[in-house]
Structure 1
Amino acid sequence: MAHINLAQDVPGIRSLVMYRPDTGKPLYELAQILLREDSPLSQAERELIATYVSSRNDCTFCTSSHAAAARYLYKDEAQTVDLVLDDYQNSPISDKLKALLTIAGNVQKDARTVSEENVALARSFGATDRDIHDTVLIAATFCMFNRYVDGLATLTPTDADTYAMMGERMGTLGYIPPKL
């Protein structure tokens, strides 16, 4: 049960956006910019970064919903998401993305631990300033989103079908605030 009075049967951050549309709107706009708009990283890669950080933060709602979006965007390679969550260093992603996930993990743990060596490794695999910037911002943003969702004990569905529908909606429509 949520710590505050939220809309019944509305899971995760959607219920919080409905509770405070004035703060929810810019959060959704930020998610749209980071995960759907122009970036040298693909939408699937950006969703994967959000999923990875959410998993490390043990945020079930954000991990499950963004993993579903990443699976939807990876299409025939949907299993990549689960392989990354299991062991990203041995998963079938590029060395560049592995290095960026290392940076994202450092941001999640303690952003001050992102080192010159982490950045140099990412650059050695072709990461640009924009790749590194977007990775850090996605990781930092999802730390906030994870804590927001879990800190208010929002509804967290348990069935995979609910998340699959969320993933398809996020993969096709992007991040549009719920209608009130």
Structure 2
Amino acid sequence: MPHIALPAPHPGIRGLLAFNPASGLRLSELAEQLLRGESPLSVGERELIAAYVSSLNCTRYCAAAHGATAAHRLEGDFALVDAVQADLATAPVSDLMRALLQLAGKVAESGLSVTEEDIAAARAVGADDTIIHDTVLIASAFCMYNRYVDGLAAITPDDPDVYRMIGAHLSDHGYLPQPGE
């Protein structure tokens, strides 16, 4: 049960965004830019970072919704997303993706947890300044989104099929409001 009265019973952040449409639009635009804008990282990789950070923050809605979106963008590989969220050390990801997810995990812990060694490790497997920047910014933003969703006790469905539908919608349409929404 959300901590505030929402204008519509939409799950997760969608209900919260509807509470204040002006800030909701800005938060949607930020997500669209971070996860769909220009980047050397694919949409699937960026969604995986968002899902991983959300899982570390124990934000079930965001971990499941962005996990499903990542899977849809990574050729339907739900097992890969599950493996990353269960144990990054053994997940079947590239060395670059593992280093980026480790970096994102440090950001989720605290921005001050990121060390020169973390940056050097990412660079050693091919990350450049833009990739490092995008990873840290996505991780930082999702810490904010996670706290927004959990701090107001957003509606969090239990049915995994709901998240698959949310993931398919986000994969196809992104984060900006659609006509009629």
TM-score (norm 2): 0.96
Task: Confirm or deny that 1:43 pairs with 2:43.
Answer: yes
Unaligned runs of 5+ in 2: none
Q: Which residue in the other structure is 1:97 paired with?
A: 97
How much does 1:76 deviate? 4.3
- Kindly report which structure 2 residues correspond to 1:28-177, keeping only aligned pairs within 5 A, or say none: 28-177=28-177
- 1:58-98 Cα offsets, whole Å, 9 max, x none, are 00110110011011111243311111111112211110111
Runs of 4+ in 1 over 4 A off after TM superposition: none
Count of residues in Structure 1 that have an aligned counterpart in Structure 2: 180
**How far, CA to CA, are the matches of 1:61 and 1:177 in structure 2?**
19
> Is the CA contact 1:6–1:16 (under 8 Å) kept in the aligned structure 2?
yes
- Kindly report which structure 2 residues correspond to 1:20-31, keeping only aligned pairs within 5 A, or say none: 20-31=20-31
> Is the CA contact 1:17–1:177 (under 8 Å) kept in the aligned structure 2?
no
The percent of aligned pairs where both chains have the same amino acid is 49
SS at match of 2:157: coil
Q: Which residue in the other structure is 2:7 paired with?
A: 7
Query: What RMSD in Å do the two structures reach over aligned CA positions?
Result: 1.2
- 1:48-67 Cα offsets, whole Å, 9 max, x none, are 00000000100011011001
How much does 1:7 deviate? 3.0
How much does 1:130 deviate? 0.6
**How far, CA to CA, are the matches of 2:106 and 2:14 in structure 1?**
28
> Is the CA contact 2:8–2:18 (under 8 Å) kept in the aligned structure 1?
no
**How far, CA to CA, are the matches of 1:84 and 1:154 in structure 2?**
25
**How far, CA to CA, are the matches of 2:92 and 2:76 in structure 1?**
13
**How far, CA to CA, are the matches of 1:130 and 1:169 in structure 2?**
28
**How far, CA to CA, are the matches of 1:136 and 1:170 in structure 2?**
22
Amino acid at match of 1:20: N
**Structure 1 residues 112 and 19 mapped into 2: Cα distance closer, same or farther (>3 Å)?**
same
Unaligned runs of 5+ in 1: none
SS at match of 1:24: helix
> Is the CA contact 2:60–2:156 (under 8 Å) kept in the aligned structure 1?
yes
How much does 1:24 deviate? 0.7
Name which of structure 1's ranges 117-126 and 7-16 shifts more when overlaid on structure 2: 7-16
SS at match of 1:62: helix
**How far, CA to CA, are the matches of 1:26 and 1:86 in structure 2?**
32
